[in-house]
Amino acid sequence: MEIRIANVRKEFGRFPALHDVSLDIRSGELIALLGPSGSGKTTLLRLIAGLEHTTDGRIYFGTEDASARTIQERNVGFVFQHYALFKHLTIADNIGFGLRVRPRATRPSRKEIRRRASELLDLVQLPGLEKRLPRQLSGGQRQRVALARALAIEPKVLLLDEPFGALDAQVRRDLRRWLRELHDKTGHTTVFVTHDQEEALELADRVVVMSQGRIEQVGGADDIYDAPASPFVFSFIGESSSLPIVVRNGEAWFEDRRVAIAAHDCEPGPSRLFMRPHDIDLADAGEGTLSGTVAMVRRNGGGRRIELAAGQGAHRVEIEVPAEIAPSVGSQVSFRPRRWRIYADPASVKGTANAAAAKASVPARAIAAE
């Protein structure tokens, strides 16, 4: 089932939780909505499910306007963060619930419902647990039962709202792999909400990065990580540092020093230079390099992490170096990014009251270099 979200706006009272959101979800795709708390992920999911109505814009299931359909007719399976299993029902009865409450004409026989529950327990790799009660299962097992229950109604679309959010890191990682395998087996169109970037990037075919009720970028893990479309995406995904710079005559200036990075494609004016710790090299002091005072040095897995205070403003920059390199705190070091991106600084665009509008009007110019 393809889902098309067209210019959707959602207000709660006067508060806009989603602004003009458009997104095409392909049939059979596993898509992740990723963003910080409050960015509108759950709202978008609830709109798709039919649990909320749009203030503006439309949602299509295939070619059909979904607003004409009731929740039941949309036939979506929903799993929430907190396992909403019925405490007093056995696992088999929990899984069969959505079938048992159907009107008689479409309700399968009791025997058929039991058979289907057992089949689904096999699918979610919990065979033989039919007679147990939810409290007799671990958190991870309960979430798998919740998923089996969502699948029991043979939904066209599966909507998962932080389904593993309440579980331990290791269990989450296991369930993530398991969900991906299950998805590949069943081929449901699946929308998965998470605020965990590792989960989104590992699990999904495409990731939708959201912030403040807007979609910032849609893409595969490589697009999102290597070509972030906005300063928000750059800083939200992976580790990064940024410095305020000015682009003048195709050159980048940090305070009173010219930085030897190509900036001829960039919008002139105040901008921000974004870099990742492992894309920065230490350099010999000299023309065109950046420099800073070492504020902290710490071991970081196989390498070492140096935290610098750069320039008059003591801007924080983190650099990943080999473990053999260990400059002392307080010493001066020079560095140069190997890869970077420059974004026009929306806050400093004159004559525009609102930063979001400024961002839209000034395309981010970016350079990945060598």
CA–CA distance, 169 with 181 (Å, rounded to integer): 19
Virtual CA dihedral for 230, 233, 236, 238, nearest 10 degrees? -110
The mark string for 49-68 relative to Mg ion (x by CB under 5 A, - otherwise) is --------------------
Nearest distance in Å: CB 118, ligand ADP: 34
- How many CB atoms within 10 Å of residue 127? 11
- 206 vs 276, beta carbon nearer ligand ADP: 206
Q: If contact means CB under 5 to 8 A according to the sort of partner, which of ligand ADP, Mg ion, none does residue 38 touch?
A: ligand ADP
Q: Which is nearer to Mg ion, 35 or 155 (CB)?
A: 35
* Distances, alpha carbon 282 to alpha carbons 103, 109, 338, in Å: 70, 71, 10
User: Footprint of ligand ADP on residues 9-68 (CB under 6 A)?
Assistant: 12, 15, 17, 35, 37-43
Q: Number of helices (H) and strands (E) in the chain: give both, helices first.
A: 10, 20
Instruction: Determine contact, residues 321/299, Cβ cutoff 8 Å.
Output: no
Residue closer to ligand ADP (CB basis): 194 or 291 = 194
CA within 13 Å, CB half, 309 = 9
Query: 42 or 141, CB closer to ligand ADP?
Result: 42
Nearest distance in Å: CB 78, ligand ADP: 14
Contact with Mg ion (CB under 5 A) among 8, 10, 39, 42: 42
Nearer to ligand ADP, 158 or 261 (CB): 158
3-state helix, strand, coil in the chain (%, to 5): 30, 35, 35
The binder of 194, among Mg ion, ligand ADP, none, by C-beta within 5 to 8 A per type, is: none
State the residues that interact with Mg ion by CB under 5 A. Answer: 42
Binding region for ligand ADP (CB under 6 A): 12, 15, 17, 35, 37-43
